[in-house]
Amino acid sequence: GVRLPPAGDLGEETGGHRMTFNAWLRKQQRRADPIGDLARDAFSDPKWPATARTQRQYLLGVNACEGALVALDRAQAEWRATR
């Protein structure tokens, strides 16, 4: 079967054929859904964190809406499922 990494493992390493979360998110900018909105907002923000591990904390720190947090969670889950 398919072995998924533990939920806490956001795989920042790029070994093998893994794509970092930010690289994956950058490719989602044309989506017409909340993940696309998140991607566009993230890459128009020069302070967007480079690592998936710190992005939720960053969104909380800038008082992002609940929808942005939900979109981040969904995006990270989708990214994990594609690795």
pLDDT in tens, 33-74: 999 999 999 999 999 999 888 999 999 999 999 999 999 999
Listed residue (47, 55, 46) closest to 21, CA to CA? 55
Distance (Å, whole) CA 34 – CA 9 = 23
CA distances from 51 to 2, 3, 33, 39, 74 (A): 25, 23, 22, 14, 16
How do residues 14-34 score in pLDDT, each as one tens digit?
A: 445 578 999 999 999 999 999
Percent of the chain whose predicted confidence (pLDDT) is above 70: 80
For 38, other C-beta atoms within 10 Å of its C-beta total 25
Distance (Å, whole) CA 19 – CA 44 = 20
Q: What is the pLDDT of residue 83?
A: 74
